[in-house]
Structure 1
Amino acid sequence: MSSDLASHIVDFKSLALEQNIERRSELARHVALLFARTWERCSDDQIDIYDNVMLRLSEMVEQHALSYMAQQLAEVRRAPEQTVRKLAFDEIEIAEPLLRRSNVLRERDLVNIARDKGDEHRLAIAQRDIISENISDVLVNHGNTEVKQTVAANEGAVLGQRTVNVLVNDAHGDEVLQLALGQRADLADAHIEALINFASEQVRRQLIKEGATDVAGKLPKAARIAAGKLSNEFWLGRYDFETGRGRVMELVREGKLNEGALRVFAEEDRFAEAVAAFAMLAGIGHSEAQHWTVRNDTEPFLVVSRASGIGMMTVQALLKIGPWRYRLSNSQREDALKSYQALDQQKAYKQFITWKEQWMA
C-alpha cells in the first residue's frame, strides 16, 4: 500500500522521462530534507511511504544527491531502513556518514559491509560510538593497519579475547597500536604485560647493541614489575575516589559508618565509596586501601580485613566489585575466601601492626 501512495506523491513515470537529471536530484534532496525535519511526527506508515519514495529516487539521481540524502538520514533515529541500508552499501563518499553514525543499521548490516566492502568502509565503521564484539572481530580480521589502530583506540568497541590477541600480536613493531591498546579500559593484565614486554624488548636489543648486557638482562623482570604497577594504576584511574571519600565522610559525621554500610557499598558495586569506608573502618590510609583492593594479590586485603574484624560476608562482597570483578576469576575468589577463613585473627592483627609500623617508619 505504501508503494501505491508513494506513486501518488511522486509521479515516477513522468520523472523517469525527465531529461534534466538535476531536477530529480533536487527533488531527492527536498524529500530527504523534509523527512529529516519532520520524522519525529511521522507514523510508521508514513515512514514506510518515505522509504519507498527515497528508495526509488535513489535509483534515478547522481552521487551528489545520494551523498546529501545520506547526510540528512545519518542522525535520524527512525530513518527509512531500506534506503539507509542501500546507501550504506554504496560508494564510501555516500556511505560514510551512515556507517559512522546511523543507528538504523543493524549488527548484521555492519558485519556484512565490513566483510564485503573495502577498508574505507571498515574505517568508517570503526569510528562508530559503539561497536559490538562481532563487528570488532570482522574489522580486525579483515581490516588494514589503520582500521586495526582505529578499533583499538575506540573506547566504545567491545573486543573479544580472540580480537585482542590478534591486535596484541600485530602490535609488535607498531607503536601507534601499542599506545592505543595501552590506553584501553578493558585490557587484561596479561596483555598489558605483553605490551610492556614489546617496548622493553626493543630497549633491550638497543642496550645489547651498545654493550650494556648487564642492564639488558634485568629488563624482563623490570617489565613484569612495571606491568603490575601500570595495571593497578590503570584500574584505579577509572574511579572518582574524591567524591566517594566525601560521601563516606558524611556517614562518619552522622555516626552511621559501620560494616553494614560497607557491605551496602559493595553490594551496589560502589567501589570508590567501598574503598573509603574500608580505609576508615580498618584504620589505614586511603592510598593503601586503594591499592590493596585492586591488586591481584589479595593477601594484604585479607589480613587487614581479618585483623579489623570485618566479616566473611562483607569480604565476599568486596571481592566481587570494582576491578576485582574483572581481575579475579571465580577460583581465585574461592581461594581468597579459604585463606581468609584460615587466618587467625591475633596473628593477622600482629602482621597488620608490623605493616603499620613499617609505613610510619
Structure 2
Amino acid sequence: MTVLVQLNPSREPERAPRAEDLLSLARNNSPDARQRLLLGVMALCDASPPDGQLSPILGEIFLYLARQAERDIRKVLAARLAHADWAPPALVNVLALDEIEIAAPLLASSPVLRDEDLLQILIEASLDHQIAVARRPRLSGRVADAVIEQAVPAVLAAVATNRTAQISGEGFRRLVEHSRRVAALRGPLSRHPGLSQALAEQMYHWVGAALRESIATRFQVDERKFGSAVYDAIEGVIRRDPNEPVPVDTPEREEMERRLVMKLQAAGQLKPAILIRAARERRLSLVVHSLSALGGFTVNQVRQALNAPTPEPMYYACAAIGIDRAVFPTLLTELRKLNRGLPGDQGDPIWQRGALSHASAARAFRALVAPDPTEQRIAV
C-alpha cells in the first residue's frame, strides 16, 4: 500500500525520535506507523548526528527502510541523504542502485559515494544511472576515463557537457575521436574549455559549418590553409608510382577509368576521396566518372560543369557528394590545371557563403546544367 503524506509547512519542526521508536515503527506495517516512520526519518535526517557516526541500531533502521519500505519513503530518504556525509555507505549504495528517480540526488551529490562505488554503478545500473554519474560535478579522472572507455554515446555526451569533470588529455583525445561517429559530442566539445588547439583542428575535419566557424573563431584557424591540409591528407585506394608518366586522356583511357569506377562502386569502395586523389594524380577522366557515379549525374553534365565560365556548378556537384567546402578551393585549382584553366573564375566564391545539404546542392547543380536525356546515368 502506498501512503501519501502531506506535510504542513506551518507545523513545528519534528523532534528527532529515539532509535528504538523508529525500529519499532519500521517493523509495523500499518498505514499510521508508515506515516510516523516517514516523518521520523525526515526529522532524524534534519538533525544528523553531530559526531558523524551512526549507532548500529540506526544503521539497521536505514537499511531496513531501503530494502523494505515503500517507494515514497525510499525517495524521500534518498533526497534527505543526498548531501549527508554521515549517511551509512551501505545504505547510500543501495539507494544509488534503486530506480533512477530515487537514485538521482545521490548520484549527483552524495559525498559518501566513492570512485569504486561509481565504477560499480557504471557496470551494474541502467543507462539513466550511467548518464547521472557522467554528469556528477567534479567527476574524477578515473571515473571519467571509465565512462569514455565504455563508449556509450548518450553517456559520452553527458560527460562532454560536464565542465567540472576531470577529463585527462588522453580522455579528451578519445572523446574527439568518438565525435567522428557521435554527432552529439561535437557541440559540447567545441565549446569545452579543455579542448586544445590540436584537437580542435582535428575536429575541424568532420564538424558541420556552424561548429567549424565557431572553432575557426575560437582557435584562429585559417580555413583556406586548413582546407588545403585536409585535401593533402585525404587517403583513397588509388596509388601511383611517382615515376609513372602522367596518363593522357584517350578514348581507351576514359573507358578504363569508367570501368574502374564501376568496380569500385560495386565493391562499395567509391568515395569522394577517390575523386580528390584522382585530381591529384591528374586523371581527369577518373574525376569525371567518379563525380558522375557518386552524384547520380550524367558524364555530359559533369563536363558542362568543368567547362563552365564560373565554378558554381562544379562546387554544387562536389557539395552534393560530400566534398567539404574548405577543400573545394584546392580541388578547383587542381582541376583548372588539368582542364585549360576551366571552370572559369567569373562570379563570387560561393563556397564561402556556408554549407549546403547534399540534396540542396544536387538540386542547385541540376538547375545550372542542361538536362542530358541521351545518356544513362551510372547507377548510384
Q: TM-score, normalised by structure 1?
A: 0.51
Report the equivalent of 1:351.
none
Q: Secondary structure at the match of 1:187?
A: coil
Q: Which amino acid aligns with 1:216?
A: V
Q: Distance in 2 between matches of 1:24 and 1:105?
A: 31
* 2:8 is aligned with 1:8: no
Q: Distance in 1 between matches of 2:199 and 2:325?
A: 27
* 2:134 is aligned with 1:138: no
* 2:327 is aligned with 1:216: yes
Q: Distance in 1 between matches of 2:324 and 2:157?
A: 34
Q: Contact between 2:176 and 2:199, CA under 8 Å: does it hold in 1?
A: yes
Q: Distance in 1 between matches of 2:76 and 2:177?
A: 41
Report the equivalent of 2:164.
156
Which of the residues 63, 67, 75 maps onto 2:83? 75
Q: Distance in 2 between matches of 1:213 and 1:97?
A: 45
Q: Distance in 1 between matches of 2:148 and 2:324?
A: 38
Report the equivalent of 1:304.
none
Q: Contact between 1:26 and 1:65, CA under 8 Å: does it hold in 2?
A: no
Structure 2 gap segments, 5+ residues each:
1-17, 213-226, 228-271, 273-314, 332-380
> What CA deviation, in whole Å up to 9, does each residue of 1:188-214 have, x standing for no partner?
322111111223799987862359999
Q: Contact between 2:139 and 2:166, CA under 8 Å: does it hold in 1?
A: yes
Q: Which amino acid aligns with 2:61?
A: V
Q: Compared with structure 1, are the counterparts of its residues 152 and 70 closer, same or farther at alpha carbon in structure 2 (3 Å cutoff)?
A: same
Q: Secondary structure at the match of 2:47?
A: helix
* 2:117 is aligned with 1:109: yes
Q: Contact between 1:137 and 1:163, CA under 8 Å: does it hold in 2?
A: yes
Q: Which amino acid aligns with 1:35?
A: L
Q: Contact between 1:54 and 1:83, CA under 8 Å: does it hold in 2?
A: yes
Structure 1 gap segments, 5+ residues each:
1-5, 221-361
Report the equivalent of 2:42.
33
Q: Secondary structure at the match of 2:176?
A: helix
Deviation, structure 1 residue 142: 2.8
Report the equivalent of 2:132.
124
Q: Contact between 1:67 and 1:93, CA under 8 Å: does it hold in 2?
A: yes
Among all aligned residue pairs of Structure 1 and Structure 2, give the percentage whose two residues are the same amino acid: 22
Q: Compared with structure 1, are the counterparts of its residues 172 and 45 closer, same or farther at alpha carbon in structure 2 (3 Å cutoff)?
A: closer
Higher relative contact order (CA 8 A, sep 6+): 2
Q: Secondary structure at the match of 1:199?
A: coil
Q: Distance in 2 between matches of 1:213 and 1:27?
A: 67
Q: Which amino acid aligns with 1:32?
A: V
Report the equivalent of 1:347.
none
> What CA deviation, in whole Å up to 9, does each residue of 1:164-194 have, x standing for no partner?
2332122125443111111112223221111
Q: Which amino acid aligns with 1:163?
A: G
Q: Contact between 2:107 and 2:136, CA under 8 Å: does it hold in 1?
A: yes
Deviation, structure 1 residue 64: 1.8
Q: Distance in 1 between matches of 2:207 and 2:138?
A: 30
Q: Contact between 1:136 and 1:158, CA under 8 Å: does it hold in 2?
A: yes
Q: Distance in 1 between matches of 2:201 and 2:100?
A: 38
Q: Secondary structure at the match of 2:192?
A: coil
Q: Distance in 1 between matches of 2:131 and 2:55?
A: 30
Q: Compared with structure 1, are the counterparts of its residues 32 and 156 closer, same or farther at alpha carbon in structure 2 (3 Å cutoff)?
A: farther
Q: Which amino acid aligns with 2:69?
A: V
Which of the residues 88, 92, 103 maps onto 1:95? 103
Q: Which amino acid aligns with 1:36?
A: C
Q: How many residues align?
A: 212
Deviation, structure 1 residue 104: 1.2
Q: Distance in 2 between matches of 1:49 and 1:143?
A: 43
Larger helix percent: 1
Q: Distance in 2 between matches of 1:87 and 1:187?
A: 35
Q: Distance in 1 between matches of 2:191 and 2:208?
A: 18
Q: Compared with structure 1, are the counterparts of its residues 183 and 47 closer, same or farther at alpha carbon in structure 2 (3 Å cutoff)?
A: farther
Q: Which amino acid aligns with 1:74?
A: A
Q: Compared with structure 1, are the counterparts of its residues 49 and 200 closer, same or farther at alpha carbon in structure 2 (3 Å cutoff)?
A: same
Deviation, structure 1 residue 115: 1.8
Q: Contact between 1:71 and 1:98, CA under 8 Å: does it hold in 2?
A: yes
Q: Secondary structure at the match of 1:78?
A: coil
Report the equivalent of 1:179.
187
Higher CA-based Rg = 2
Q: Distance in 2 between matches of 1:45 and 1:214?
A: 64
Q: Compared with structure 1, are the counterparts of its residues 215 and 192 closer, same or farther at alpha carbon in structure 2 (3 Å cutoff)?
A: closer
Deviation, structure 1 residue 69: 0.6
Q: Compared with structure 1, are the counterparts of its residues 157 and 199 closer, same or farther at alpha carbon in structure 2 (3 Å cutoff)?
A: same
Deviation, structure 1 residue 161: 3.7
Q: Secondary structure at the match of 1:198?
A: coil
Q: TM-score, normalised by structure 2?
A: 0.48
Q: Contact between 1:151 and 1:157, CA under 8 Å: does it hold in 2?
A: yes
Q: Compared with structure 1, are the counterparts of its residues 49 and 185 closer, same or farther at alpha carbon in structure 2 (3 Å cutoff)?
A: farther
Q: Which amino acid aligns with 2:42?
A: L
Report the equivalent of 1:65.
73
Q: Compared with structure 1, are the counterparts of its residues 157 and 10 closer, same or farther at alpha carbon in structure 2 (3 Å cutoff)?
A: same
Q: Secondary structure at the match of 2:121?
A: helix
Q: Compared with structure 1, are the counterparts of its residues 200 and 24 closer, same or farther at alpha carbon in structure 2 (3 Å cutoff)?
A: same
